[in-house]
Amino acid sequence: MSTKSPWPRRLTWLVPIIVYIASLLFVFFKFQEKQDQKAIVIRFAHWNLHEGLREGYDELARHYEELNPGVKIKQTVVPKRVWYSWQQTRLVGGDPPDIIQLGRITEDEVIVQNFVPLSEFAKEPNPYNVDSQLEDVAWRDTFFDGLNSIRVYYPALQEIYGVPSMMMSLCVFYNGDLLKAITGSSKPPQNYRDYLVLRDQIDAYRERTGRTLIPIAGASDYGTYLIGNCFQILTQKRRSQIDLPRVLTLPPPQVALAYLRGDWSLQDAEIQGALNVFQSLGRGMQPGFLHLKREDASLIFTQQKTLAMLSGSWDYFLFGQECNFPLIVGPLPLPDPADPDYGHFTNGKPHEGEGNMNGVFGITKSSRHREQALDFLRYLTSHTASARFATSTHTLPATLEIEPTDQNLRVFARVEDGPVHGFNIGVGAESHRWLMTNSYRLFQPGGTAQNFVDDTTDAFRQSLISDLRTVLKDQIKTNQRTDTIVMAALHRTTTQLDRAAGLFSGQISRELEIAQLQHALAQEPD
């Protein structure tokens, strides 16, 4: 008697059905493939790998597709460490995405050759703002920065090339449970004096509990941001002495030229005060923090080995997901005008106009669907879409008239009427490298701000000279290129004539700066 199961023979009737279903699926996917080929595909690339941002952009892309049948938005996310190489390869190869994040490109020449100017479009209302508070408002006036900030507006070209999708702000995240256990309160430090009190309270907590606890977790990039903020706060009053043009934005080359003229030095009390504050804050961080990655700092914060972490609004979503303790957000604990040691150097928390716009996107000239790409950027930065993105990603909108829904996010809120920033002593690649290479001197045993200055002043001067030589070369190249653009604009429409006037004015300003640079560098030995 056979022991084989009769079931396979009984199920043979399913074979035709399976074949029929497979045929239907094949036909469906072929049809879908043809439909996709007919659709307009907008490729959208950026490096925003922080938790929640990709999902936020994807949500808006799907909604845009619903509003615009026949259009597909394909998002590409590239790690920041390889972004520059990837971007250059795409641009040189003539096949970049339709929309690409700006910010890793600094050369005006690359911008003008590869990206579409948006200035004329920025004067028009955003059609996606109909029935909102921003209806009939010029697109550029719907943003906090008026589309005048870095990575958005390029002064030498007199053009807007990008639009921001969010704002970023530096802050300190606190473990709410630990903060209350240490201080008896859930209120984080509001200034440098509060931080010094907190540091003593942490020492007492360690003695009381025997628990090893780092005050603040830091990382390399965030340490760079922190020292920049220390300088910008404590040089607010000194700025007026070197800001000869009396403009809102003090260009880094003017800071370097003022140093070479002797208008300020590393021996100044303001500069040494900033170094002292940075040293004090840095000594509360884990050893070697300037060489550690963001992930290293995040790990010890989520594991509750540290009370706080120096970071920014970009990490708020991640910590909200990963931390199993109440999250409290506080401002950078920097000196304010009431500080007994440093208050006379500062005017207070500065107006945040430039430098905090992020997720800035431009349209590439290689795009075969420029109008559709422009339409997507208008949707992305509309009042409705920006509010939805800010809510889902827990970020700050770059678009006006949107209130943060999370109380913690109000700490990041932009200062509208504060004083202007001071200046940062790292004015270019070489001076920035000087600062990061030598910062360890502040944290070694017996290290002081005075010793730091004494040991590195000569190297600092040489780094500034190197940076100014780079600026001079770029300015000469920019003026040579713009000569042709101005002459071409003079033979165009009235609008182009207006632009030519702006470009010509920029030419004169650059010629003056070139003369200044050449004169200053001629005094320096090779």
Q: pLDDT digits over 230-246, tens only?
A: 999 999 998 877 876 55
Q: What is the mean pLDDT of residues 282-305?
A: 92
Q: What percentage of the chain reaches a pLDDT higher than 70? A: 84
Predicted local distance difference test score (pLDDT) of residue 354: 47
Predicted local distance difference test score (pLDDT) of residue 427: 86
Average per-residue pLDDT for the chain: 86
CA 344 to chain CA centroid, nearest Å:
30
Q: What percentage of the chain reaches a pLDDT higher than 90? A: 56
Q: Is 160 helix (H, G, I), strand (E, B) or coil?
A: strand
- Which is more confident, 73 or 3? 73
pLDDT at 335 > cutoff 70: yes
Predicted local distance difference test score (pLDDT) of residue 2: 46
Which residues are within 8 A (CB) of 517 and not within 5 positions of it... i.e. 6 or more apart? 253, 257, 468, 471, 472, 475
Q: What is the mean pLDDT of residues 364-381?
A: 96
Q: What is the mean pLDDT of residues 202-216?
A: 95
Residue 292 burial (CB count, 10 A)? 19
d(CA 373, CA 368): 9
Predicted local distance difference test score (pLDDT) of residue 1: 46
pLDDT at 4 > cutoff 80: no
Closest CA to 294 of 50, 86, 85, 84: 50
End-to-end CA distance of the chain: 102
Least confidently predicted of 192-201, 255-264, 417-426, 453-462: 417-426
d(CA 171, CA 331): 5
Residue 85 burial (CB count, 10 A)? 10
- Which is more confident, 39 or 300? 300
401-450 per-position pLDDT tens digit: 888 777 777 766 666 667 788 899 988 889 999 998 999 999 989 999 99
Q: Which residues pair with 308 in a beta bridge?
A: 174, 216
Q: Do the bridges between strand 170-175 and strand 163-167 make them parallel or antiparallel, or are there none, so unpaired?
A: unpaired
116-146 per-position pLDDT tens digit: 999 999 999 999 999 999 999 999 999 988 9
pLDDT at 212 > cutoff 70: yes
pLDDT at 397 > cutoff 60: yes
pTM of the model: 0.84
DSSP 223-255: HHHHHHHHHHHHTHHHHHHH-TT--SS--HHHH
Predicted local distance difference test score (pLDDT) of residue 166: 92
72-115 per-position pLDDT tens digit: 999 999 998 899 889 989 998 888 999 999 986 667 778 888 99
Predicted local distance difference test score (pLDDT) of residue 122: 97
Position 150 confidence tier, pLDDT thresholds 50, 70, 90: confident
DSSP 345-409: G--SSPP--SS-EEEEEEEBTT-S-HHHHHHHHHHHTSHHHHHHHHHHHT-B-SBSS---SSGGG
481-525 per-position pLDDT tens digit: 777 666 666 665 555 566 666 667 777 777 888 898 888 999 887
d(CA 363, CA 376): 10
Q: Which residue type, as a one-letter code, is found at position 125? A: P
Least confidently predicted of 176-180, 280-284, 344-348, 379-383: 344-348
Position 307 confidence tier, pLDDT thresholds 50, 70, 90: very high
Identify each DSSP E strand in 420-508 by its residue range. none
| Highest averaged pLDDT of the listed ranges 222-226, 356-360, 392-396, 453-457 | 453-457
pLDDT at 215 > cutoff 90: yes
